[in-house]
Structure 1
Amino acid sequence: MAIGSTLSVGLVGLKPFLIQIQAFVSQGLPFFSIIGLPDASLAEARERVKAACSAAGFHWPQTRVTVNMSPASLPKHGATHDLAIAASVLAASRAIPSKCLDQTVVVGEVNLDGSVLPVHGILPVLLHARQHGIRMAIVPRANADEAELVPDIDVFYVSHVGELIVLLGGNAVVPDTDVPISATPPPTAAPALDQDVGDMAEVVQQQEAKWALQIAAAGGHHLLMVGPPGTGKTMLASRMPSIMCPLNEEEQFEVASIRSIVGTLQSFGISDVPPFQAPHHTASVASIVGGGAGLAAPGAVTMAHRGVLFLDEAPEFGPRVLQTLREPLESGTVAVSRSRGTTVFPARFQLIMAANPCPCGYGYGSGERCTCRERDRIRYFSRLSGPILDRIDIQVAVLPTGRIDAGSTGSASNMSSKQMRHQVIAARQRARERLKDEGWTCNAQASGSWLHQHTPARTLAIVNRALDAHVMSLRGADRALRLAWTIADLDGVSEPSAEHMHAAIALRTKVT
């Protein structure tokens, strides 16, 4: 009996798990099978691996070859495990030493000519391997930039199955190359925060909207901007990451792991810039929350994790798309069920929506330029349902500015993103210190019971009067309290005053 064994890492959504791959070469008629709940693309690895090993000069055993992927209860998918399957068969056939792959993770897709192709998800794979004490990995050379982002693990790079065999002590046919197998390329540089996004100082006037965005960034609040076309709503939203707190190391790896899985990490590297996603209003439910056949793939809400999800022309989005946002807005996760199981993705983002006041966009002020019928205006804005609007902490009107003054961009009243970000960081730090015993990091996470207990009685009385007047719901009252605490943090005071509470209520009830 000959058994070869190696390790790989599988992914169910964003959750990695170790896979032990064992190859068993036994007597019998020539047959190659893969067991352990593989999907169709993984079952097709039989032909890819056979051809790739033959291209490297390995004589495939003319007997029965069985490859088991354990744990058998978890689904495995994709071509990520091709190289590990090839390595286990090579070890079982004594083409390489059988013990050379102990405590080694092997990932990569193989082609029929033996070349090793890059795969998605290298970053979370190596992070999970390191977490489990594994200190050696073999990955495709094309994934080297991404693999170098993970410290404290020895990574070897191969571009052909023959290189894998030579690396592990066997003899093989290797294509001519001047690149050593253990080459270590420089890591991808992370983009600087100030170079990656625009500056708030570039937005002319709109001081009230900028103040609302700063409050949203400081407290982690969701925001809706309503105004006619051309007033700067999209420009303001796109600069939101420039005033948000930079991501800490743990958050950076979370975001980078998501980008690794969807194949966009090479464009970003490990960056402290919060992500920004702006799907088109024709986007489907699956593209927003995640979907696909078999096991679901991440959607826009997951790619916006730890950052901003911006819905421009929000009333133009489909009603089902908007309703699917209710769960992630509350829980910070999204569960997508498909035929092969349920996948849970992280989705802790800040939602920013922009909308026109009516279909033509000019139903503001006196409304003299508006060409819409009254029922069309009501129908248009009612697409943003009450339950969705109730989850939006801040609602602000973005109206046309007066005149453009020479040098207004650099005026003292027009703060830059850097100045606004310093104030946001200071406010977030005050909230973090106050809420650390509860395990929260910003005011948006504070529970209703905590808010009711710690808000001064005079400030709480203002909320009760608003509730008695049916200005807001109980959930809306809690969100107004969170806003008041954030405004107090930006002002550098220990608790919200009546003025802070009035400002918070105004921010929630201005445009609806």
Structure 2
Amino acid sequence: MIIGNALSVGLLGLKAFTIQLQAFISSGLPGFSIIGLPDTSLSEARERVKSAYMSLRCEWPDTRLTVNLSPASMPKSGASYDLAIAASILSARGIIPLSELENTIILGELNLDGSVLPIQGMLPIALYAKQKNITKMIIPYGNLAEAKLVNGIEAVGIKHILDLVDELNGKLEDEARPIAEKNRERALNAINTYDHIRVEEREKASDLHNANSNAIKCPSKNMADSVEPVNNDKPLNEIGDMSEVLGQEHTKWALQVAAAGGHHVMMIGPPGSGKTMLASRMPSIMCPLNEREQLEVASIRSLCGTLPYYGITDVPPFEAPHHTSSAASLIGGGADLAKPGIITRAHCGVLFMDEAPEFSPRVLQTLREPLESGHIAVSRSKGTTLYPAKFQLVIAANPCPCGYAYGNGERCTCKEKERIRYFSRLSGPILDRIDIQMDVPPVEKIITRKAMLENGASQMSEKILTSAMMRENVKNARLVAQDRFKKLGWSCNAQASGTWLRKYTSQKAIELINKSLENHKLSLRGADRALRLAWTLADLCGHTCPDLTDMAQAISLRTRI
């Protein structure tokens, strides 16, 4: 009895696990079974594998064929196991030596003509392979650049099932080899034609997307050469600069505080006051992602299939869902196993919710868990998937449905009940988790730098905050916080525990917090968040500990005073 073997890797969220495939050819009526908790797409692999196998001009077993994927307790989905299933069958038939399959991971989707198609999630799989000391990976050629981002692994990219046989020193019959090579050539010609059309469509779609979106994109032309480190300057230029926002210097300063401490922000103001422009430029003032964060973000994008469009970049992600988005699109969804949602794609970056009261209350309530824990657990019929979701929330809202209940509210056409109903969608628990809550007043006068200089206000012109200035201030403040928390495992003030904050804050500053608690301006959670804000303000001002001014400003930012 000969049992063919092969190794592959599965993904449950971003968590990878090894899968052993065994193919057994036994006597009995002809049939092909795949066991080991497969989903529908994996069950369909039978037809894809059989057709691709026959493109080698090899005889398909005319008896019973069973392929087992273990461990059977782990759910398996997708078409990424096609190539490994084919390898196990080829080894059971004696075409590929079993010794060649040792310590080698095989991944890839098979087309009916035997061509090998790219899969999603290659980067986290490659990282797992390195962690497990696996020396070799045989993967689709379209995923080769992505796998080579991980050093220390021999990644071999193939385009056809015949390449798999050749790479593993397999032997075909003499009369089968020429026909298999012809089938390979025909299949690759079809793929090249399709890829040419797909690249043109992707370029058009990318141009249209970049013209209508504030998202950071690094589009690529060739999928095989797509995952390259990109220069940080170009994406930042595409985001825009804070100096392009007229006025709102106080709001820019508050956003600088938010970026320095990792604080969540809510901006309330009339239409046209610059809320969306300010939020979309948040990534331009944030600290560049470190290597660990870059890998986490890239792994999420690899799982979503968007890594070829972004590349590896140190610019924080920016996600801005439409207010009609569903809860499943936000937290992640899927029939059997949950796919990453918008909040996971915003990990290590900014989640911007414009017109927040227009979102469904149910959608807004889903933010409570990730705002506290930095991750989201999504349960579906075949298991629970844990995704990272440590984002910085930026909320923008009008003061009322018409947007003009600001100041004396003369232009407002809304009734009092409509205003109350409008803001009641933002529940107390959500608002309590937002550190900075501020008003964004309308800009009443346009003053250019040239006009300031002509009026002799040179000092005033220097106060216009640019992204470069703000980013430098944010970097310096973050370095101070990281040095303070290096033994505690926190990277910014927003992560500090309330116990630590209360222990090291001066008694006079605590008394100021107590007054706000007595006046019911702050909850206990709000008091801790005000303390975190005060420490960030102290870091920006060069203070070793928050003084009364820092604490007063923190309470002001917290309570919209």
TM-score (ref. length: structure 1): 0.96
- Counterparts of 1:230 and 1:189, CA distance in 2: 38
Q: Which residue of 2 aligns with 1:240?
A: 282
**Aligned equivalent of 2:472:** 422
Indicate if the aligned counterparts of 1:6 and 1:103 stay in contact, CA closer than 8 A.
no
Task: Judge conservation of contact 1:484–1:504 (CA < 8 Å) in 2.
Answer: yes
8 Å CA contact 1:289–1:301 kept in 2: the answer is yes
Residue of structure 1 equivalent to 2:49: 49
State the match for 2:434 in structure 1: 392
Q: Give the AA of the match of 1:417.
A: S
Deviations 1:322-348 (A, max 9, x none): 011001100111111111111111111
Aligned residue in 2 for 1:488? 538
Matched, 1:219 2:276: no
Matching of residue 326 in structure 1 with residue 365 in structure 2: no
**Distance (Å, rounded) in 1 between the aligned partners of 2:486 and 2:408:** 48
Pairing 1:441-456 to 2, within 5 Å after superposition: 441-456=491-506
2:320 is the alignment partner of 1:281:
no
Given residue 495 of structure 2, which amino acid in structure 1 is its aligned partner?
Q
Query: Residues 10 and 18 of structure 2 are in contact (CA less than 8 Å); yes or no, is this contact kept in structure 1?
Result: yes
- Distance across 1 between alignment mates of 2:438 and 2:477: 21
* Greater displacement, 331-340 / 186-195: 186-195
Deviation at 1:94, TM superposition (A): 0.8
Of 391, 398, 416, the match for 1:374: 416
**Distance across 2 between alignment mates of 1:151 and 1:402:** 56
CA contact (8 A) 1:214 1:424 kept: yes
Return 5+ residue gaps in structure 1 as ranges.
Answer: none
Query: What displacement does 1:438 show?
Result: 1.5
Contact in 2 for aligned 1:226/1:398 (Cα 8 Å): yes
The verdict on how the C-alpha distance between 1:503 and 1:408 changes in structure 2, with shifts beyond 3 A counting, is: farther
Matched-pair contact (CA < 8 Å) for 2:227–2:307: no
Determine the C-alpha separation between the residues in 2 that align with 1:93 and 1:403: 80
Kindly indicate whether residue 481 of structure 2 is the aligned counterpart of residue 439 of structure 1: no
Secondary structure at the residue paired with 2:60? coil
State the match for 1:157 in structure 2: 157
Which residue is 2:72 aligned to?
A: 72
Match of 2:22 in 1: 22
> What is the SS of the residue equivalent to 1:137?
strand
How far apart, CA to CA, are the structure 1 residues paired with 2:448 and 2:525? 45
Q: Provide the residue aligned with 1:259 in structure 2.
A: 301
- Of residues 242, 250, 257 in structure 2, which corresponds to 1:200? 242
Distance (Å, rounded) in 2 between the aligned partners of 1:408 and 1:262: 47
SS at match of 2:526: helix
Residue 112 of structure 1 pairs with residue 106 of structure 2? no
Q: Which residue of 1 aligns with 2:220?
A: none
1:374 to partner: Cα distance:
1.2
Q: Note closer, same or farther for the CA distance 1:28–1:221 as it changes in structure 2 (3 Å cut).
A: same
* Cα distance in 2 between the residues matched to 1:434 and 1:408: 42
* Residues 256-277 of structure 1: CA deviation (Å, up to 9, x unaligned): 0110111110111111111111
Which residue in 1 is equivalent to 2:218?
Answer: none
Counterpart of 1:355?
Answer: 397
What residue in structure 2 maps to residue 499 of structure 1? 549
TM-score, normalized by length of structure 2? 0.88
Deviates more, 1:127-136 or 1:496-505: 127-136
1:340 counterpart residue number? 382
What is the match of residue 59 of structure 2? Answer: 59
Whether contact under 8 Å (1:123, 1:256) holds in the other structure is yes
- Matched residues in 2 for 1:108 and 1:116: separation? 6
> 1:409 Cα deviation (Å)?
11
One-letter amino acid of the counterpart of residue 30, structure 2: P
**Alignment length (residue pairs):** 507
Q: Identify which range, 16-25 or 458-467, moves more after superposition.
A: 16-25
1:462 paired residue number: 512
Letter in 2 for 1:398: V
SS at 2:539 equivalent: helix
Answer whether contact 1:201 1:409 (CA < 8 A) is retained.
Answer: no
The residue number in structure 2 matching 1:95 is 95
The one-character-per-residue Cα deviations of 1:132-179 (angstroms, maximum 9, x if unpaired) are 001211111122232222222111111111111122122341323699
Structure 2 SS opposite 1:94 = coil
Q: Which position in structure 1 is the counterpart of 2:196? A: none
1:230 to 247, 251, 272: 272
| Contact preservation (8 Å) 1:39, 1:78 | yes
3-state SS in 2 of match to 1:144: helix
Native 8 Å contact 1:202 1:409 kept in 2: no
Letter in 1 for 2:364: L
Deviations 1:436-469 (A, max 9, x none): 2211111111111111101011111100111111
How far apart are 1:252 and its partner, in Å? Answer: 0.6
Contact 2:378 2:385 in 1 (8 A): yes
Amino acid at match of 1:347: A
**Secondary structure of residue in 2 paired with 1:91:** helix
Determine the C-alpha separation between the residues in 2 that align with 1:501 and 1:230.
31
- Deviation by residue 1:64-113 (Cα, 9 ceiling, x = unmatched): 22111111110101101101110111111111111111111111110111
Q: Is it true that 1:146 corresponds to 2:146 in the alignment?
A: yes
Distance 1:203 1:500 in 2: 26
Could you tell me how far apart the structure 2 residues matched to 1:70 and 1:32 are? 17
Q: Does residue 132 in structure 1 map to residue 132 in structure 2? A: yes
* Greater per-residue helix proportion: 2
8 Å Cα contact 1:203-1:409 kept in structure 2:
no
Of stretches 76-85 and 335-344 in structure 1, the one that deviates more from structure 2 is 335-344
Q: 1:367 to 1:185 in 2, by over 3 A?
A: closer
Q: Distance in 2 between matches of 1:104 and 1:466?
A: 62
SS at match of 1:4: strand
Matched, 1:404 2:446: yes
When the two chains are superposed, the root-mean-square deviation of aligned CA atoms in Å is 1.7
2:117, 2:139 → 1: CA distance?
Answer: 9
Give the equivalent residue in structure 2 for 1:81: 81
Which runs of 5 or more structure 2 residues have no equivalent in the other structure? Answer: 192-222, 453-460
How many percent identity over aligned positions?
Answer: 60
Identify the residue that residue 477 of structure 1 maps to in structure 2: 527
Any idea what SS the aligned residue of 1:438 has? coil
Residue 219 of structure 1: how far off its partner (Å): 0.6
Residue by residue, what CA displacement relative to the aligned partner does 1:370-429 show, whole Å, maximum 9, x if unpaired? 111111111111211111100000011111113222337994212221221111111111
Distance 1:409 1:209, change over 3 A: farther
Q: Which moved more, 1:48-57 or 1:59-68?
A: 59-68
Higher mean Cα deviation, 112-121 or 24-33?
24-33
Q: Distance in 1 between matches of 2:419 and 2:394?
A: 22
| Distance of 1:186 and 1:332 partners within structure 2 | 33
Say whether the 8 Å CA contact 1:148–1:186 is kept in structure 2.
no
SS at match of 1:221: coil
Give the Å deviation of 1:187.
6.2
Q: Secondary structure at the match of 1:310?
A: strand
Matched to 1:30, the amino acid is P
